Chain A
Amino acid sequence: MSHAVEMKDIYKSFGTNNVLKGVDFTLEKGSIHALLGENGAGKSTLMNILGGLLEVDKGTISVTGTLVSDQKSVIDEKIGFVHQELSLVNDLNIFENLFLGNEKKKGIFLDKKAMSAEAQATLDRMGVDIDPYTMVSELSPSYKQIVEIARAMMKNAEVIIMDEPTTSLTDVEIEKIFEVMGTLKKQGISLIFISHKLNEVIEICDSYTILRDGNLVAKGAVTIETTEKELSTHMVGAEVQTSGIYQERQIGDLVLELKGMSRPREYQDVNMNVRKGEIVGVTGLMGDGRTELFASVAGANHPYEGSILVNGKEVTMKRTSAAKFSKLGYVPKNRKENAIIKDLSVEENLVLPIMKNISRVGLIETKQKKELVASYVEKLNIKVSDTTNMITSLSGGNQQKVVLSKVLSTNPEIIILDNPTQGVDIGAKMEIYRLIVELAKQGLSFIILSSEIPELQRVCDRAYVMFHGQIKQEFARDELTEENIMLVATGGTFESA
């Protein structure tokens, strides 16, 4: 067998950040090869180099046996890149998308006949039965993915890179994609499959390469003996230290129960509970449905099926003010889009949900507002010179502390934190963890949605792992290892020893 791609001793850094530290990568012709690793391991950088989007610092690349000197031109011809985020135009049909920017013309008019015929031929080759005149907006996610692959096929690519093609697909749709991948493989096309779902890797791939922190840590063939556990251990590496933030606490009665929570295409039949003073983690990979689930619990994703019980009483979370009324606080993910009002000051952002409570005869009491804000600035150690400055003048960590203060100011009993340390530096991160544990000691309950496993290990009493909108497993604190979680989050099953 000959090599379709051979990358040797690849180095790449961004400023002082060394992303790839001498990585080798080999892809056999006519095979499906998995590229694995955690977020930040360097997978995307490596593939962006192969796809011609980034220049290498050092190292050599050969494609189909010829050394690539001018990265861009060779790669344009031979390598197709199917990105995770689809780049199709919904309001055009399939062949118009396939020829976008590269249309065939007869005089000044588009040659629709020739374009649709060529598109049809490509789709036939892929073993897909679909009319090229179909509008892309009418296609299911798997067929959109297939159109993306077809676009790579149109330029006769010999290597196709697929970046997490299955994350937003259902099982049936994934089977369709696998079918197409199998057809392409038979025709001698080589595929690189980037995925977090180890069960899929074992199902479809011939070989694998695992990166960690910019280094090649393992590679080999996928055989009957290959296990998900083996792969996930390589991905995670040595266990990360969790320093003494966590503290044993008094755990009280049930404060929040979710029963049979479902919402089509987002989450299905979720049952969960949280006790007073408890810190519960929820994790999973992209598309696990945890963000959507807890947006519903916080009243921001209505309607839903199932019931939400707060302190044993059923509540309907139709809008966010209902959550506030039920003493449920919510810090959404993506601070800039969802939590910060950029045209308001630090103090106005902080008191936004409780302005009515600090008003007398309809007018906001300035003195009371200032005192309240000052107390949170002190308690959370927010670094701000003047609280009447705009919120955008603060660093990410301090903005996040303002957002936390905002939620705390409503005196919640349960707080949902979605990705609470996103874009927060390590120092502020630790402060936020300590605060969470301290507040839990005082009887507050926390639900922490995070994909960072060390984060869960630092603060959580237990954690649920979700996969495709369902809870796959619940882990007690002493079972919360990266290996266990990755195994379940990628669709595997964990058996307690």
Chain B
Amino acid sequence: MNFKNLKTMFAENSSLFAFILILIVSIFLQGTTFFNIQNISNVLLNNATIGIIALGMTLIIISGGIDLAVGAQLASTGIIAIAVANNTGSVILGILAAIAAGMAMGLLSGTIISKFGIPAFIATLGLMQIYRSIAQHQLNGGGILVDRELVGGFLYISNTRILEFGNFPGIPLPVIYWLVLAVVVHIVANKTSFGRHIYAIGSNEKAANLSGINIHRVKLGVYMLSGALVAVASIIEASRLGAMNSAVSGTMAELDAIAAVVIGGTAMSGGKGKISGTVFGMLTLAVINNMMNLMGMPPFFVAAIRGGIIILAVMLQRSVSAKEKQY
């Protein structure tokens, strides 16, 4: 393999290399405090919900859009899941209601953006406030608890580990959900006509339309799929905590998800990006957070470091891909 190939390989998988770099730094700085099964398992568990939201966000950004409403959607669908489960006594109905609500919210975003031509940033900025406000209004700004009778069934969804044996603490179920969904979304993005049409639209919407692709339908599909993924994330969140809060749950989730997508190498202008990149982007953010916790960084300063690293990561990718273009 010559130098050029190596460079191409680096450019195409920069998010993986960035993650490995961060990992090495973490191990170097924190040693076994960081690199033990319990800690790693916690890091993965803590980031599974945002990780799942970021999967849908990746497709949205590839299609040339953005979704600022996912955090408010997370709170709303989580509240719906708990409310329906409490009222019907059925956890399954709660889950189905949340997913249906998530898809309906996606349908609404998609319709406003595609049918009425409102820029995605503005449409979802408005929806974010609408969802959040309705949720807070309904709960008077407070939260909702999973009923005592349901607690066992509902909490089982997230607070279970599989493959426990000996000293191995097992893998928390949310991590499994995240990885399985990542594989599914990866297949959707790369192997289905729907997925390829998302790339085509993000790269050149005009040409995609003139090729006979029904742009409107694809966009609706993207936002609905994202809505469903957000609903899944909200169920995990509700199950982990046994409650959902109308004011606090999901705040800043949209920005964390976008950060993961961007660190993962997806172009904000659309047309280019990978699901695997987003997974590594999320992991990179997760490891940075964890490392700073372990190092005892002053808690209010953590965000500043994170912000700096997001910018740095994207700058590094830009410099590599800019050089690539010269060939």
Contact = CB atoms under 8 A, between A and B. Distances in A.
Interface of A: 298, 300, 319-321, 323-324, 330, 332, 337-344, 348, 352-353, 355-356, 359, 362-364, 406, 410
A340 B204 contact: yes
A353 B204 contact: no
Contact of B193 (A337, A339, A356): A356
B197 A343 contact: no
A419 to B, nearest CB: 13
B191 A352 contact: no
Q: Which of A321, A339, A341, A364 has the most CB of B within 10 A?
A: A341
B208 A341 contact: yes
Interface in B184-213: 187, 191-194, 196-197, 199-200, 202-204, 206-213
B200 A352 contact: yes
A337 B211 CA distance: 12
B272 interface: yes
B193 A355 contact: yes
Interface of B: 187, 191-194, 196-197, 199-200, 202-204, 206-214, 216, 271-272
Contacts of B214: 319-321
Main secondary structure of the interface of B (DSSP, over half): helix
Contacts of B211: 320, 339, 352-353, 406
Given A321-B212, A363-B187, A364-B191, A339 B196 contact: no
Given A337-B206, A340-B204, A363-B187, A324 B212 contact: yes
Contacts of A323: 212
A9 B211 CA distance: 50
Contact of B209 (A320, A340, A359, A406): A320
B272 A348 contact: no
A410 to B, nearest CB: 7
Contacts of B199: 341, 343-344
B210 A298 contact: yes
Contacts of A340: 204, 207
A300 B211 CA distance: 10
B259 to A, nearest CB: 22
Given A356-B193, A364-B191, A364-B192, A341 B210 contact: no
8 contacts: A320-B209, A320-B213, A338-B207, A341-B200, A341-B208, A344-B200, A352-B200, A363-B192
Given A341-B199, A352-B213, A364-B191, 7 more contacts: A321-B213, A341-B204, A342-B271, A355-B196, A356-B193, A363-B187, A363-B192
B209 A363 contact: no
Q: Which 9 A-B pairs have the closest CB atoms?
A: A355-B193, A324-B212, A343-B203, A343-B271, A353-B212, A356-B193, A363-B191, A320-B212, A321-B214
Nearest to B192: A362
Contacts of A320: 209-214
Contact of B196 (A298, A300, A348, A406): A348
Given A363-B187, A363-B191, A337 B212 contact: no
Contacts of A353: 211-213
Contacts of B209: 300, 319-320
B210 A339 contact: yes
Contacts of A330: 210, 212
A337 B207 contact: yes
Given A355-B193, A363-B191, A341 B203 contact: yes
